[in-house]
Amino acid sequence: MVNSNLENLTEELERDGCVFFRNFFPPTIIEKAILEVNEYYDLYKPKANTAGGPAFMEWKNPAGEKTLDVMLDLYGKCPALDTIFEKVLTDPTSSGILQILAGNIKLRGYNIQRFTGAYDPPPAIGPAPMNHEWHRDARGEINIAIMLTDCEKPENGATALIKGTHKFPYCPRKNCLFGPPYNFGKGLSFFLKNNFFNRLLAKKTLKNATGAYGKKGDVYIFLNDTWHGRQPNLHGNKGMRLMIGCFPNDIPYPDIVKPVSGEILNTLPPTFQKVLRPQPLNTGNRTLMDKIILSQTPPKLLSLFYWARLERKFADLISLEVKLFYSFYTKNMQRVKSKSVRLLSKAAQKKG
């Protein structure tokens, strides 16, 4: 008999690029994990990123205050957290979805995001500015998120998502002019204010923008091809969530992923261990991910996507030319200045 819940959730994931599992964990289990994570934070944050120390990452607001701590690769550091993830990997519905979506998976990251509660507004320019700008990650990547605290309303740092955008032809970070940091800060902000097709595209696509809202113990899975970002945090939310990045194991990682040591692996629950060890490779185009990737096509000439991308390419070209000219001009001005100073001092010496 077909599990109709699994069927419905798979349909939702295929349609929206994300799917939610409500009340997946009882609050008591989550609270145990929170205690462990907080203990880990207090103990290891002072040693963060020192030689051989734990890896942390920080985000800051425009005033330079820390808004978010990311504790990276917590494998084996918080047993209650590991048990929670094991449950996602073994529960018939969530593991069923992962199997349909990606076959055998491999992990890229196992991170906690912990908000400080500092005011974190969105950038002020562009037709669709967003904290951690709208983007896609590497093709084929999947994110499994476990909410350790409530995040039920907008403007509390939820994962920002635009449903259905996994079917779009490209990544907005690389192809649009939606907001800063334009081209990792290399583009001219003039083009974020002055663009026609990108404004239209933003208006059209943002109609379906939402956030991964939910309660402590909810789980959501999204395809990283779904345009996503992070919502502003304007009301002091100090929430936490566990974010696990993974791939179908036949798709290569986009970067180097350090293997988890055997010593740590042995402390993990069995299915968690399994997804960190080599497994038989998925073969053929049989997963939902294969189907989605195959369905993505380049933008057609008459589509808004095509013209928005062309507008971005034009902006990139002009930005590059202006920056090259500026750097050439400043370098030469510096040279002329030094030469003039040398000549003037020589003339002064002669006079003297």
Are residues 250 and 281 in contact, defined by beta-carbon separation less than 8 angstroms?
A: yes
Q: Which residue's Cβ has the minimum distance to Fe ion? A: 137
Phi, psi (degrees; rounded to nearest 5) at 323: -65, -40
Residue tagged 């909410």 (tokens): 147
Q: CB 143 → Fe ion: shortest distance, Å?
A: 7
Is residue 69 part of the contact set for Fe ion (CB under 5 A)? no
Q: CB 4 → Fe ion: shortest distance, Å?
A: 31
Question: Which residue, 89 or 142, is less far from Fe ion as judged by CB?
Answer: 142
d(CA 134, CA 92): 32
Question: Which residue, 137 or 250, is less far from Fe ion as judged by CB?
Answer: 137
Site string for Fe ion, 105-144 (x = CB under 5 A): --------------------------------x-------
Is residue 218 part of the contact set for Fe ion (CB under 5 A)? no
Say what the alpha-carbon torsion angle 156, 157, 159, 164 is, to the nearest 10 degrees: 60
Q: CB 345 → Fe ion: shortest distance, Å?
A: 56
Are residues 215 and 152 in contact, defined by beta-carbon separation less than 8 angstroms?
A: yes
Question: Which residue, 41 or 222, is less far from Fe ion as judged by CB?
Answer: 222
Question: Which residue, 228 or 309, is less far from Fe ion as judged by CB?
Answer: 228
The encoded tokens of residue 331 equal 């370098």
Q: CB 137 → Fe ion: shortest distance, Å?
A: 4
Are residues 233 and 157 in contact, defined by beta-carbon separation less than 8 angstroms?
A: yes
Question: Which residue, 69 or 137, is less far from Fe ion as judged by CB?
Answer: 137
Q: CB 228 → Fe ion: shortest distance, Å?
A: 6
Question: Which residue, 254 or 278, is less far from Fe ion as judged by CB?
Answer: 254
Q: CB 177 → Fe ion: shortest distance, Å?
A: 19
CA nearest to 35, candidates 90, 112, 109, 110: 112
Residues of the shown chain interacting with Fe ion in the complex, contacts defined by CB under 5 A: 137
